[in-house]
Amino acid sequence: MLSQQEISDRIEIQELLIDYSHALDFRKFEEFDNIFTPDAVIDYTEMGGPRGDLQSTKAYLAKAMNLMGSYQHMVATSKVTLDGDTATGRTICHNPMTLKKDNRLFWCGLWYKDTFVRTPEGWRISDRYEERCYMHGLDEAPVVPS
């Protein structure tokens, strides 16, 4: 049987995953400050993006997502392992997107591999790695301007 604390922790972590998708899909990158720790490492290299800190990731996404006409980051089936004030998680993300320049539809499938930490403000992601599962409809990832 789950304790009330474990239930609360799991709900709060699930809300972080949802908050990330909504912040990304509605281009509210400033909300990442309430999702990630200030020293978070975010690695998008398997999906064609950079590995960086929170500020450089927000700047990258502001440019990269501007290349897209539409997109949805749908998360599901999270497997979270709690260990006191830390946790690890693996979550599916299915991400259909269209390119703004030609309205071409493509799909990305990936796993978010996360490390979570409990902070005085609540749970936050301290490390995120995107593990590629598939990309369909594009030969290669779009080039993001510098």
pLDDT digits (tens, 9 = 90+) for 47-60: 999 999 999 999 99
* Cβ neighbours of 48 (radius 10 Å): 17
The yes-or-no verdict on residue 39 having pLDDT over 90 is yes
Quote the distance between the C-alpha of residue 32 and its chain's center.
10
Task: Report domain extents, the chain.
Answer: 4-136
Contact 32/126 with Cβ under 8 angstroms? no
The domain over range 4-136 is classified in CATH as 1.20.1070.10: no
* Cβ neighbours of 115 (radius 10 Å): 17
pLDDT digit string, tens, across residues 90-112:
999 999 999 999 999 999 999 99
Please tell me the predicted confidence (pLDDT) of residue 139. 73
Please tell me the predicted confidence (pLDDT) of residue 142. 73
pLDDT confidence band for 145 (50 / 70 / 90): confident
The yes-or-no verdict on residue 23 having pLDDT over 80 is yes
Tally of CA atoms within 13 A in the half-sphere of 134 that contains its CB: 9
